[in-house]
Chain A
């Protein structure tokens, strides 16, 4: 009978209060997922996993086995990318490829955050891993942090997914601060263009080849993303496309969240650095947004009247897809109920998906050359 109460008694000793804090953090993540609908498919498993991993005396070898098999090997994030690739329609991007420039522009936060994390005293590998929160893309964050052997994988993943869910709160004030009312009212008519099936099929193959040639460290992520897209667009693998979009993506998501919790033991998570990482994640999202908007304003300086861009669309270049495109579209509608920016913002947003993965690959390469 005594053994039944041994664990409970142990909670009153040593560092056990830290476990209780982790339960509270886990409960908050679960509450945010259920009550606020914030990235529920990931924050709920992560929250539950945080509680699971911080119970005294529990044997959770299975979570570590899943971690080694799925995260340390990078299998889960890469498989998830097949599903994401199968979900994305690159049509709006192919119809107006020039908007891809904002996908590049809105990665500024990643590199600025590296600068800030370095100022805060994080080692080069950790600073790069933290910076990639600005990719606004969970799988990329996981792959980079794991690749660079960061000790903050749990905090980085939680920050990445939390801020992705907070895009509707983080982006609008930054966009408003950097644009005038007149700029936000700029209308951008959308000319629907038919994209040939050949283009749609060649696009994922060519993007993979270009990435392989110029940013080889990103080729696994881009390759899996584009493979998923090829399945979608080829027209002869509809069943596989459906499976990738639904069954595969859901299955991997289910395990991914729970497995991330392997790095949410209180010893690793309850550090002052975790708070710093959360703050730096916010910096990354703010400066991503600013980068996209400011480059749009810069381009506008060279465009004739009547052809100017609504600079808000630059903010959609972060890869939080499709959240960011919807947020910016709604901001446009709020300013002018007849200003439909959605097709532009979707094009920019999917560009951000590609650019953020390239940014992940580039940062993994560049840190070796410091």
Chain B
């Protein structure tokens, strides 16, 4: 592990997350994945639309 990484890790509070923090992480984390995946779905739909008629 390099020094930069260790310094970064040191920035994380060295204690358990409290109830509210953990719930917030569930909301933010799970929600963010949906956002990224929906963007990916839209891009794939566009790709399929644009290239579906082209030579396979």
Beta-carbon contact of A123 and B14 below 8 Å: yes
The distance in angstroms between the C-alpha atoms of A186 and B17, with both chains bound, is 41
Beta-carbon contact of B33 and A149 below 8 Å: no
Beta-carbon contact of A202 and B32 below 8 Å: no
In the complex, which residue of chain A has the Cβ closest to the Cβ of B54? A196
A24 within 8 A of B: no
B29 to chain A: which residues have CB within 8 Å?
107, 110-111, 114, 359, 362-363, 366
The distance in angstroms between the C-alpha atoms of A195 and B51, with both chains bound, is 8
The distance in angstroms between the C-alpha atoms of A211 and B45, with both chains bound, is 17
Beta-carbon contact of B16 and A101 below 8 Å: no
Instruction: Write the nearest CB–CB distance from B40 to chain A, whole angstroms.
Output: 6
A103 to chain B: which residues have CB within 8 Å?
37
A149 to chain B: which residues have CB within 8 Å?
1, 5-6, 9
The distance in angstroms between the C-alpha atoms of A23 and B31, with both chains bound, is 43
- Of the stretches A9-17, A25-33, A76-84, A92-100, the one at the interface is A92-100
Beta-carbon contact of A127 and B12 below 8 Å: no
Instruction: Write the nearest CB–CB distance from A220 to chain B, whole angstroms.
Output: 13
A193 to chain B: which residues have CB within 8 Å?
48
Beta-carbon contact of B33 and A355 below 8 Å: yes
Count of interface residues, chain A, beta-carbon cutoff 8 Å = 56
A237 within 8 A of B: no
B33 to chain A: which residues have CB within 8 Å?
104, 107, 355, 358-359, 362
Beta-carbon contact of A354 and B15 below 8 Å: no
Instruction: Write the nearest CB–CB distance from A318 to chain B, whole angstroms.
Output: 13
Beta-carbon contact of B47 and A351 below 8 Å: no
Q: Are A366 and B52 CB-contacts (below 8 A) given A115-B23, A215-B36? A: no
A291 to chain B: which residues have CB within 8 Å?
30
Beta-carbon contact of A211 and B37 below 8 Å: no
Interface string of A244-275 (1 = CB under 8 A from B): 00000000000000000000000000000000
In the complex, which residue of chain B has the Cβ closest to the Cβ of A194? B56
B11 to chain A: which residues have CB within 8 Å?
368
Beta-carbon contact of B25 and A214 below 8 Å: no
Per the 8 Å Cβ criterion, residues 110-125 of A in contact with B are 110-112, 114-115, 118-119, 121-125
In the complex, which residue of chain B has the Cβ closest to the Cβ of A121? B16
Beta-carbon contact of B39 and A214 below 8 Å: yes
Partner of A202, one of B1, B8, B47: B47
Show the binding face of A for B, using Cβ within 8 Å: 72, 93-94, 97-98, 100-101, 103-105, 107-108, 110-112, 114-115, 118-119, 121-125, 127, 146-149, 193-199, 202-203, 206-207, 210-211, 214-215, 291, 351, 354-355, 358-359, 362-363, 366-368, 370
Show the binding face of B for A, using Cβ within 8 Å: 1, 5-6, 8-9, 11-18, 21-26, 28-30, 32-41, 43-45, 47-48, 51-52, 54-56
